[in-house]
Amino acid sequence: MISALGLLLKALRMHRFIAKRLLCVLLACPAALCKDATIHGFVTAIKSPTSFEIDDYKVTRNKTVTLDFETAQNDKSPTTFQPEDIRIGTELEVKGEYDEASGELKAKAIKVFSFDTLTINRTALLEKLPLLTKNGSGWTGVIYADGQRITVSPATIVSSKPNLAERQDSTRDKNTTSEGPSFTPDSLNLDTFVSYEGMRQADGSIQAQKIEFQHAELANGEARMWRRFAPRVTEPDYAGLQPGELKMHWARFKIVPNQEAQEYISRLGNALIPAHQKDLPDGDPLKIPFKFYLVDKKSFNAASYPNGVVVVHSGVFDVLENEAQLAFVLSHEISHAVEKHLWLQHQYHRNELIALRAGGALIPFGGAIVTDLLAAGIRNQYSRSLENQADRVGLEWMLAAGYDIRQAPQSWKAVSRMKGDSVTNPFWSSHDNATTRRSYLMAELRNNYSDVDYSNLRKDSDEFHRVAGAMKEFESRKKQEDAKSTE
């Protein structure tokens, strides 16, 4: 028979065992600090295939955790992609257990997004004239466009494509095949778009599989789009502090009645327009007549239109911390106009919807819903690709204007502090948030700007803070006037 003392000793030993196990669990990851989490972003640092970072998250992956893939149509990259191929800039969604104290996220599931991160298929204006040479085996050299280094090897298919005006010119040479005489580097200028397909390399560059050049033009449809958004402006009464009005097509804004703020936004915006675009003669149809307006909107947002109208919401001054961050916002919007994003998006959606209908996606009596859903997926993916490009190109122009490009990801850090990390934009994918955008920019900095000397780059100005203070006074005065009107 077990004595009472023996039972007591056994119970104590059991309690000590349980206490030790519980202590080990608590030390490994305190319950108050551990939680299930899902993050979506771009790899910003790599220690090993099982240890890497996405922004502030330190991700660890047990070797038993396999990779899942979300791919674009006809994307074959996952068939060869291995965990060892994860590199800075790879887009991932990680689900796991997050330790808030250490910042460690132990992955339970990882999804890899190949579209626009592993396999690249983009169109952008040349940043500088490329250095291409040809020998018996093909073209070699480097192309700088889209904020990227695009390498060309003899295996790269290089060609040119005539634009509409050139196709209508009966005197031009119609032979535009990849090895045809119509393409020579001498035919290129800084108003040339390059469409490139390729694979991201370990050093951040893109090895091109296919390159196609086409001279930019202002098509008739695009010119009509410019006219549709022609601004109609009623100037503010600055002395009387009465807002002005900006009307464009269906959009209407109140212009902030602060002359210093308007001149500041205009001066900063014009300083960020790329040199080649700014130097085009006034009569050139490709010259964009940029105009910048600070409007009375409390949201953190800015928008650009194809004719160069850039609208900045007054709410950005509630969030951004310095002039360099504002310079990034403006550079991003300017790039949408210069890279013809709204027009390209219009053409892309038109062609895709035609293809969907031709393929039978439009079915009578409710089939339109199918087309709408498919079109929404196309729109979402393509729009997000253009937002990424606006970030990349915006960094280039921000740097060219002498601003500290490290403040670009910091602008999204400021958004997180003020608005929370879950803030999204309707033009991005549903999984994009402040962490996603910040990590994308951090990856771009590490892939393409590791040799930048930041010692002489600008970060801030007194004028930025004067305007930010004026916006607070403007908002305070509005609240007082609203309160009086309701009495």
Q: pLDDT digits over 196-242, tens only?
A: 999 988 888 999 999 999 999 999 999 999 999 999 999 999 999 99
> Given pLDDT bands bounded at 50, 70 and 90, which one contains residue 162?
very high
Would residue 132 count as lying in a domain? yes
Q: What is the pLDDT of residue 378?
A: 43
Residue 424 lies in a domain: yes
389 found inside a domain: yes
CA distance 421 to 412: 9
Instruction: Give the pLDDT mean for 47-72.
Output: 89
Residue 151 confidence (pLDDT) = 97
378/133: higher pLDDT: 133
* CB-CB neighbours of 249 under 10 Å: 13
Contact call for residues 182 and 234 (beta carbons, < 8 A): no
Does residue 369 lie in a domain region?
yes
What CA–CA distance (Å, rounded) separates 462 from 464? Answer: 5
Q: Are 369 and 361 in contact (CB under 8 A)?
A: no
pLDDT (mean) for 70-90: 75
Neighbouring residues of 404: CB distance < 8 A, sequence distance ≥ 6: 324, 454, 457, 458, 459
Q: Same domain for 268 and 370? A: yes
* pLDDT for the residue 451: 92
Residue 429 lies in a domain: yes
Domain end: 84, 115, 146, which one? 115
Residue 157: pLDDT band by 50, 70, 90 thresholds?
A: very high
Asked if residue 321 is part of any domain, the answer here is yes
**231, 375: one domain:** yes
Decide if pLDDT at 309 tops 70.
yes
- Determine the residue type at 412: W
With a pLDDT cut of 70, the percent of the chain lying above it is 79
DSSP string, 200-259: E-TTS-EEEEEEEEEE----HHHHHHHHHT--EEE--BTTTTB-EEEEETTEEEEEPS-H
Q: What is the mean pLDDT of residues 479-483?
A: 80
The model's pLDDT over 29-51, given as tens digits with 9 standing for 90+, comes to 555 567 899 999 999 999 988 99
Examine the pLDDT at 356 and tell me if it is beyond 50: no
With pLDDT > 90 as the criterion, what percentage of the chain qualifies?
A: 59
Whether the predicted pLDDT of 10 surpasses 60: no
Residue-range definition of the domain harbouring residue 89: 34-115
> Tell me, what's the pLDDT at 15?
53
In a domain, 485, yes or no: no
| Rounded CA separation 280/285 (Å) | 9
237 & 254 share domain: yes
- Using CA atoms, how far apart are residues 110 and 183, in angstroms rounded to an integer? 44
CATH code of the domain in which 158 resides: 2.40.50
Q: What is the pLDDT of residue 485?
A: 73
Write the CATH number for 109. 2.40.50.140
Average pLDDT, the chain: 84
Count of domains forming the chain: 3
* Residues contacting 244, CB < 8 A, separation 6+: 233, 234, 235, 236, 237, 254, 255, 257
Q: Is residue 464 part of a domain?
A: yes
